Structure 1
């Protein structure tokens, strides 16, 4: 019995300290079968804070938007992970202060995968329930995190997914199905009432001096067309028109950074890349948060499908994508 205890403790210690992944610091990652045929991927960065145990710091759980954009890719390398897209160190990154777990969600995004298309989610509730199953699997692999304060963060369409995930996780805790110290939910640039956001663009950009009155009127007209489709519940047409409205914004503003409007536009140097593109392709690129800078998108894809896939030893035939 004593030998068994020693072995278990040794296994726990090895598990708890993580391993080398891609970039600095201890990491861990893995797949959780959230349903038969549906496999969700997470990537954990242990905090690099100067503490005696990483469990002294909270766990930040990050969900990207889309739905279908990858947390392990976009948010990790473009926003708050230890490394930037070019491989340089990000001085301000969340892992310096807390443990950070990126989840590729819903299944089909990033490294998360399905056996066939019938296993994709079709409702926000199914997304939320999959995330609860992910957390059950995560806590099985990392029981030391059960008592660690957990905070769910998100952006964009995550503003729809994160609250429902938190609610279903809360219900599961109350039913005794999972031990989790869920503390809060943080919503960033949330896409909760989409049409209200779209209708605000024209006046917001005009007041900032980013567009003139002519640009304001063109954006407002395109946004109004979006609302007409929404009012008639023609959702595909509404989404296509929303994508078109975003293109009008980019043209009239000469390339405003939609996620950081204080960044200088390109002015007269701006040229909207007018490669032949169907409305469906335009909508896909908009939903997936693809940058106007296609070279940057290509860099991220090459990074995730090359060095990251190799470093994490993802050999199951899974291909990172959206």
Structure 2
């Protein structure tokens, strides 16, 4: 109890301490703003806010703001979430037809510090736990009070960002109740999220066996390592579990002839996977799993040299990025700093949000392996929330997009009280890229946008 109180008092200090910030900037018409917040001494977090051209305020339903949190940990929301998934422009800087600006203002951040355009003045300043990352992010939100006041705020996350979402939501609620944060936290959405690493890895072997990517021998090998990871997590040997996780990924690559962890219908085309095919080796290399995620994100940019775009055209537009800072696809330093928390589950935090009455949405791409739907459904069944039994017995509703039923089912939805679950068909790990129409319809449903 004393540690909880201390953490809360520290949060209040960070929300009220006037730390100097780097210069902010924006477009002349006010439709975009961006800047830095010094969330701790010598720790600088970059943010970018888009105001929707479709904004409607009818009084009863204020226009919402979506805070997008990328995964990794160490992948850039300002880069990937913005230009590859839901922002107004794609990686060719052309208008995106399926931008989420149609239904909400969008706030992107490079979180945790050390990611993307965010930076620290010394490696020892990186966040070491999900809670520290949440504290930093809440400090940023406190700084943006004037831009968030009176508007419903939805935290929408992808992959490891789901862990940041639930920890940040709880920290933000404390700041709101203390009068330090003016936002109205209206909901949290967890997309293909790494909420329960053990449930994810236990689903890998059976899923790949069912879709013919491994045989009985491969299934047995994968299950043995996954069960070892489960034992390590239960014993709170989280660093050992993280190391075993990397070994399991490499084992799966060998047994499946390099399946794509982000769409199990495809092969992993990264350089590491191709090298493993030649070597037929299961030996883990430092950073291989991290580079695989980076390679996957780059491939989604359609072959465009995305890092070059961010470090030239985008940097020139923003004008306030330090000259010695280079935007990178994935920060290995951030990933390594959080290695001790990587395999820790956050099911309890989801329970807390549900019990506090916060709207929680979970969505899962059908073709994802890394955060497979089966693993997600398994951790949902571990919730202590008193509405779980009724949620489980509720019927699924099919969802359609352009063309209606004739175009085929695009998704399913199950809901009860403040919990929703979306099955998004035809999508892998990055749902807004793979099947943007049901993703946008989902957002409209979550936010009850007046547009």
Fold match, TM over 0.5?
yes
Structure 2 unaligned blocks of 5 or more: 1-24, 332-451
* C-alpha displacement of 1:144: 4.6
Choose the corresponding residue for 1:291, options 290, 295, 316.
295
**How many angstroms apart in 1 are the aligned matches of 2:298 and 2:173?**
40
Counterpart in the other structure of 1:319: 326
Alignment of 1:1-322 (within 5 A): 19=27, 26-49=31-54, 51=56, 56-139=62-145, 143-231=146-234, 233-261=236-264, 264-266=265-267, 272-274=273-275, 279-286=285-292, 289-292=293-296, 299-317=305-323, 318-321=325-328, 322=331
**How many angstroms apart in 1 are the aligned matches of 2:95 and 2:222?**
38
Over residues 6-26 of structure 1, what are the superposed CA-to-partner deviations in whole Å (9 max), with x where a residue is unaligned?
Answer: xxxxxxxxxxx95179xxx93
* C-alpha displacement of 1:57: 2.3
Structure 1 unaligned blocks of 5 or more: 1-16
Counterpart in the other structure of 2:359: none
Q: 1:32·1:138 contact (CA, 8 Å) conserved in 2? A: no
SS of residue matched to 1:279: coil
**How many angstroms apart in 1 are the aligned matches of 2:65 and 2:296?**
33
**How many angstroms apart in 2 are the aligned matches of 1:259 and 1:71?**
18
1:46 to 1:119, Cα distance in 2 relative to 1, 3 A: same
**How many angstroms apart in 2 are the aligned matches of 1:206 and 1:19?**
52
1:319 to 1:256, Cα distance in 2 relative to 1, 3 A: same
* C-alpha displacement of 1:146: 0.6
**How many angstroms apart in 2 are the aligned matches of 1:161 and 1:217?**
33
Over residues 226-266 of structure 1, what are the superposed CA-to-partner deviations in whole Å (9 max), with x where a residue is unaligned?
Answer: 445445544334323312322333444445443344xx424
* C-alpha displacement of 1:58: 0.6
Over residues 177-229 of structure 1, what are the superposed CA-to-partner deviations in whole Å (9 max), with x where a residue is unaligned?
Answer: 12111111111111121122111111112223444434433433443444454
* C-alpha displacement of 1:159: 2.0
**How many angstroms apart in 1 are the aligned matches of 2:94 and 2:218?**
38
Over residues 139-197 of structure 1, what are the superposed CA-to-partner deviations in whole Å (9 max), with x where a residue is unaligned?
Answer: 2xxx2531111001112222221111111111111111121111111111111211221
1:128 to 1:144, Cα distance in 2 relative to 1, 3 A: closer
**How many angstroms apart in 1 are the aligned matches of 2:176 and 2:218?**
50
Structure 1, 28-37 or 116-125: larger mean CA deviation: 116-125
**How many angstroms apart in 2 are the aligned matches of 1:19 and 1:248?**
49
* C-alpha displacement of 1:88: 4.0
**How many angstroms apart in 2 are the aligned matches of 1:283 and 1:86?**
28
**How many angstroms apart in 1 are the aligned matches of 2:239 and 2:286?**
10
Q: 1:255·1:266 contact (CA, 8 Å) conserved in 2? A: yes
Q: 1:254·1:271 contact (CA, 8 Å) conserved in 2? A: no
Q: 1:107·1:114 contact (CA, 8 Å) conserved in 2? A: yes
Q: 1:26·1:45 contact (CA, 8 Å) conserved in 2? A: yes
SS of residue matched to 1:33: strand
Q: What is the TM-score of this pair, normalised by structure 2?
A: 0.58
**How many angstroms apart in 1 are the aligned matches of 2:225 and 2:64?**
43
**How many angstroms apart in 1 are the aligned matches of 2:92 and 2:36?**
26
Q: How many residues align?
A: 294
SS of residue matched to 2:294: coil
1:73 to 1:271, Cα distance in 2 relative to 1, 3 A: closer
Q: What is the TM-score of this pair, normalised by structure 1?
A: 0.79
Q: 1:253·1:265 contact (CA, 8 Å) conserved in 2? A: no
Q: 2:83·2:90 contact (CA, 8 Å) conserved in 1? A: yes
SS of residue matched to 1:185: strand
